[in-house]
Amino acid sequence: EVQLVESGGGLVQPGGSLRLSCAASGFTFRSYWMHWVRQAPGMGLVWVSRISSDGSTTNYADSVKGRFTISRDNAKNTLYLQMNSLRAEDTAVYYCARVPETTLFDHWGQGTLVTVSS
Amino acid sequence: QSALTQPASVSGSPGQSITISCTGASSDVGGYNHVSWFQQHPGKAPKVMIYDVSKRPSGFSNRFSGSKSGNTASLTISGLQAEDEADYYCSSYTASGTWVFGGGTKVTVL
């Protein structure tokens, strides 16, 4: 069974940093592109970032470019999102998703909540 | 990248069909056959219902269908059921090599 489990969320002050993790199991993690998508409380989905199966290609939404870094460790079956210079508007539930085809976000984690507040 | 435009809400009675629109631009919806639709129940993770405009993931209900014309994609739910009450989001690949979501549509089963 495919499982994605996010962790690392919490309360952080504006300007602070946080690293999210997404532990994958039940499939060959190194074969899949992975994405991060976030959702502010009561709001819609917003795409954040993606990374290729081997980690060589990454893309970011303009709103996080230069502040967030996506990475992966295929030996540990884990996806990461390093978030720096956090702002109040980064407050959201962050989901990781497996994407075997361009728009087939076929499995999602349960999400981890990041709250940026003083 | 501006969010795709969806109606805030759509409603229908059980058994009816409803259609949700998703309007973008030639740089996203209109330029690629890479549109997907997601269903999200309160407190749950999103679930893909349609991808690549009109493809259904294996084993998913054929009551859900997708189409596209120009810069507008559409999701049709046929034979509306109580469990279809949820938020629905469209998404598209973009010319910038990124993805953009719609603002979401709340579907109410009357």
pLDDT in tens, B11-70: 999 999 999 999 999 999 999 999 999 999 999 999 999 999 999 998 888 999 999 999
Cβ contact, residue pair A102, B93, below 8 Å: yes
CA distance B43 to B62: 25
pLDDT at residue B80 is higher than 80: yes
Cβ contact, residue pair A104, B47, below 8 Å: no
Question: Amino acid identity, residue A50?
Answer: R
Instruction: Tell me the mean pLDDT in the region B71-99.
Output: 96
Strand A68-73 with B64-69, pairing: unpaired
Cβ contact, residue pair B45, A108, below 8 Å: yes
Among B44, B99, B105, the residue to mutate for chain A (most A Cβ within 10 A): B99
> How close does chain A come to B2, measured CA to CA in Å?
11
How far CA B53 is from CA of A43, A52, A81, A116, B75, in Å, comes to 24, 23, 29, 36, 9
What is the CB neighbour count within 10 angstroms for residue A53? 16
Cβ contact, residue pair B46, A95, below 8 Å: yes
Instruction: Tell me the mean pLDDT in the region A4-26.
Output: 98
Q: Name the one residue in this structure whose structure tokens are 């069909």.
A: B17
Judge whether B52 and A101 are in contact, CB under 8 Å: yes
Give yes or no for B98 touching A (CB within 8 A).
yes
